[in-house]
């Protein structure tokens, strides 16, 4: 027994020594010469630190912020939580159709491979059984659950208007995203705009796009929420009969109402008006409606599927809705800031679990805000909690992409000894590259966070350096 214990301690000493060498190699890498680096690796069995470097330093996290958002949503709402959107008739006005938004980001979403138009088809079929073809009806979309500040005030102008920075409201439809198609075959700039999908009738584009011969997509759409004026800049590949980039739907609640109206009109139902709750909300008028007979109920996929989409595909839109529904469950006043209430709950919850939040600065749920910050130690403690204490441990672990296999980690650690044995979230924005998750290899069970800011090398060089470090664990 004593001999076995000595052998075990000897092996541990070798592992630790090897990890320290790997750490030093990472820190000495030329691509990180001017970078800020924070690292924490914790043994999940003992709680002891395996290797660390500036673990308490607050750094910009990018999308590893989604680890916090998804973990908190699972702990508060549970893995089987579902958003519920209802369509009812107004009891006080039987000619008014009400769409009651629940903040569901999955309505008409294509991320699960579902029929994106099924929501409208099902509602139309249900309403045709209730409505009279000789009467006129109106549609009122109640999309005020999160208010109308749908983006973080810390998001940058370069992101706002693009699909990955779409607004989050009580109603979401088609991932709050449209495609803008161009013909670049004439090789003349700006390229000719062909169409949008879905058809955005009101939107207007000022087109400054140029063309490139590299085949890369560097096209961006700029514009503020609820404005139909959009500016297109950057460059896209020349020589294409069709090429598309994606932007955010300016007013998803109204767009859902207008799309539903089109479906109903084509089915023979007369629609005279489409409104949303936004006008009444901004005027702080008490909305005069009374939900009556429920005509259709749309239930989302369960939370376990939603957090998997958040983490595997790094879905910003889903993450932002999660943080806001967290906030709204804590403060039901629709005039309160759902985003801030969600942030406040995140801090409160993890502090209650005995985790210091002193390093945490949070401005969104997705990590898009450059002003977000926290330490590697903080996030690694959350990972350890979710693995060793949470009743949602398996669901959370399974939501993270596998290195060399899934999502944003498909090419990370591929053809290494830890391919498929690391489950982690990646994070990257300008000058930021981070990884946070688990390394599970037999008795070797680690939680880790690697955060690198302001690197001077290329992103592939930094990723390679991190891969080499993780291979030494």
11 within domain boundaries: no
342 within domain boundaries: yes
- Are residue 205 and residue 316 in the same domain, yes or no? no
Distance, CA of 430 to CA of 459 (rounded, Å):
10
- The neighbouring-strand residues paired with 87 are 99, 296
- Are residue 391 and residue 433 in the same domain, yes or no? yes
Structure confidence by residue, pLDDT tens digits, 77-112 = 999 999 999 999 999 999 999 999 999 999 999 999
pLDDT at site 401: 97
5 within domain boundaries: no
Region 366-395: mean pLDDT is 98
- Residue 431: is its pLDDT beyond 70? yes
Region 31-60: mean pLDDT is 97
pLDDT at site 6: 44
Region 337-358: mean pLDDT is 98
Of 298, 316, 332, the one marking the end of a domain is 298
Say what the alpha-carbon torsion angle 360, 366, 372, 373 is, to the nearest 10 degrees. Answer: 50
Region 446-466: mean pLDDT is 97
Of 247, 272, 298, the one marking the end of a domain is 298
3 within domain boundaries: no
- Are residue 184 and residue 104 in the same domain, yes or no? yes
Domain that holds residue 90: 84-298
- Are 269 and 128 contacting, i.e. CB atoms less than 8 angstroms apart? yes
Q: Residue 50's CB: how many other CB atoms inside 10 A?
A: 21
- Residue 2: is its pLDDT beyond 70? no
Distance, CA of 225 to CA of 281 (rounded, Å):
16
Distance, CA of 448 to CA of 387 (rounded, Å):
12
- Residue 423: is its pLDDT beyond 50? yes
pLDDT at site 5: 44
Among 284, 376, 395, residue whose Cα is nearest residue 333: 284
Q: Are strands 218-222 and 229-237 parallel, antiparallel or unpaired?
A: antiparallel
4 within domain boundaries: no
pLDDT at site 287: 73
- Are residue 189 and residue 277 in the same domain, yes or no? yes
Structure confidence by residue, pLDDT tens digits, 176-187 = 999 999 999 998
Using 50, 70 and 90 to split pLDDT, how confident is the model at 4? Answer: very low
418 within domain boundaries: yes
- Are residue 149 and residue 282 in the same domain, yes or no? yes
Residue 421 sits in a domain whose CATH number is 3.40.710.10
- Are residue 352 and residue 416 in the same domain, yes or no? yes
Q: Say which residues have a Cβ less than 8 Å from residue 67's Cβ, sequence separation at least 6.
A: 311, 379, 382, 383, 425, 436, 437
Q: Most distant CA pair in the chain: distance in Å?
A: 90
| Phi, psi (deg, nearest 5) at residue 139 | -120, 130
- Are residue 174 and residue 265 in the same domain, yes or no? yes
Number of domains present in the structure of the chain: 2
Of 298, 328, 345, the one marking the end of a domain is 298
Structure confidence by residue, pLDDT tens digits, 139-174 = 999 999 999 999 999 999 999 999 999 999 999 999
Q: Range with the lowest mean pLDDT among 20-24, 44-48, 352-356?
A: 20-24
Q: Say which residues have a Cβ less than 8 Å from residue 114's Cβ, sequence separation at least 6.
A: none
pLDDT at site 8: 46
Structure confidence by residue, pLDDT tens digits, 390-411 = 999 999 999 999 999 999 999 9
pLDDT at site 451: 98
pLDDT at site 10: 46
The two structure tokens encoding residue 203: 């939107």
139-148 burial, b at 16+ Cβ within 10 Å, e below that, comes to bbbbbbbbbb
Using 50, 70 and 90 to split pLDDT, how confident is the model at 286? Answer: confident
pLDDT at site 18: 61
pLDDT at site 288: 80
Cα torsion angle, 152, 157, 158, 162, sign:
positive
- Are residue 330 and residue 416 in the same domain, yes or no? yes
Secondary structure (3-state) at 161: coil
Structure confidence by residue, pLDDT tens digits, 61-79 = 999 999 999 999 999 999 9
pLDDT at site 285: 83
- Percent of the chain clearing pLDDT 90 (strictly above): 93
Using 50, 70 and 90 to split pLDDT, how confident is the model at 16? Answer: low
Among 248, 259, 295, 257, residue whose Cα is nearest residue 279: 257
- Are 204 and 283 contacting, i.e. CB atoms less than 8 angstroms apart? no
- Are residue 365 and residue 268 in the same domain, yes or no? no
- Are residue 89 and residue 208 in the same domain, yes or no? yes
14 within domain boundaries: no
Using 50, 70 and 90 to split pLDDT, how confident is the model at 20? Answer: confident
Mean per-residue pLDDT over the chain, rounded: 94
- Are residue 388 and residue 340 in the same domain, yes or no? yes
More confident residue, 5 or 52: 52
Secondary structure (3-state) at 36: strand
- Residue 315: is its pLDDT beyond 80? yes
- Are residue 154 and residue 60 in the same domain, yes or no? no
């Amino acid at each position: 027994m004593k001999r076995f214990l000595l052998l075990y301690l000897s092996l541990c000493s070798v592992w630790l020594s090897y990890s320290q060498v790997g750490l030093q190699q990472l820190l000495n890498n030329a691509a990180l010469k001017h970078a800020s680096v924070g690292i924490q690796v914790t043994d999940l069995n003992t709680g002891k630190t395996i290797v660390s470097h500036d673990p308490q330093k607050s750094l910009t996290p990018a999308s590893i912020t989604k680890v916090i958002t998804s973990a908190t949503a699972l702990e508060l709402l549970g893995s089987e939580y579902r958003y519920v959107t209802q369509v009812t008739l107004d009891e006080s006005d039987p000619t008014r159709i009400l769409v009651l938004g629940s903040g569901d980001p999955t309505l008409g979403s294509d991320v699960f491979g579902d029929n994106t138009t099924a929501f409208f088809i099902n509602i139309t079929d249900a309403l045709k059984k209730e409505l009279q073809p000789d009467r006129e009806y109106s549609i009122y979309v109640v999309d005020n659950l999160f208010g109308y500040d749908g983006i973080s005030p810390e998001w940058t102008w370069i992101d706002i208007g693009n699909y990955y920075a779409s607004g989050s409201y009580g109603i979401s439809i088609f991932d709050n995203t449209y495609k803008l198609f161009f013909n670049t075959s004439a090789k003349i700039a700006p390229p000719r705009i062909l169409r949008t999908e879905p058809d955005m009738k009101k939107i207007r584009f000022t087109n400054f796009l140029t063309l490139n011969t590299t085949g890369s997509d560097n096209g961006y759409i700029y514009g503020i929420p609820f404005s139909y004026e959009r500016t297109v800049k950057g460059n896209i590949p020349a020589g294409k009969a069709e090429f598309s980039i994606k932007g955010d739907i300016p007013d998803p609640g109204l767009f859902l109402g207008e799309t539903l109206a089109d479906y109903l009109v084509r089915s023979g139902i007369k629609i005279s008006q489409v409104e949303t709750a936004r006008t009444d909300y901004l005027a702080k008028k008490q909305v005069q409606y009374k939900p009556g007979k429920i005509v259709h109920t749309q239930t989302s996929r369960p939370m376990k599927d939603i957090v998997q989409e958040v983490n595997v595909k790094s879905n910003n839109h889903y993450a932002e809705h999660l943080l806001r529904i967290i906030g709204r469950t804590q403060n039901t006043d629709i005039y309160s800031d759902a985003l801030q209430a969600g942030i406040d709950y995140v801090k409160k919850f993890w502090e209650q679990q005995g985790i210091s939040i002193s390093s945490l600065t949070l401005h969104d749920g997705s990590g898009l805000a450059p002003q977000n910050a926290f330490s590697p130690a903080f996030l690694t403690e959350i990972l350890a909690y979710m693995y060793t204490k949470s009743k949602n441990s398996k669901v959370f672990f399974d939501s993270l992409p596998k290195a060399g296999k899934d999502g944003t980690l498909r090419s990370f650690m591929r053809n290494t000894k830890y391919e498929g044995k690391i489950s982690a979230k990646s994070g990257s924005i300008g000058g930021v590259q981070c990884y946070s998750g688990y390394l599970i290899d037999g008795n070797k069970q680690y939680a880790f966070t690697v955060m690198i800011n302001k690197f001077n090398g290329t992103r592939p060089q930094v990723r390679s350096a991190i891969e080499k470090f993780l291979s030494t664990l």
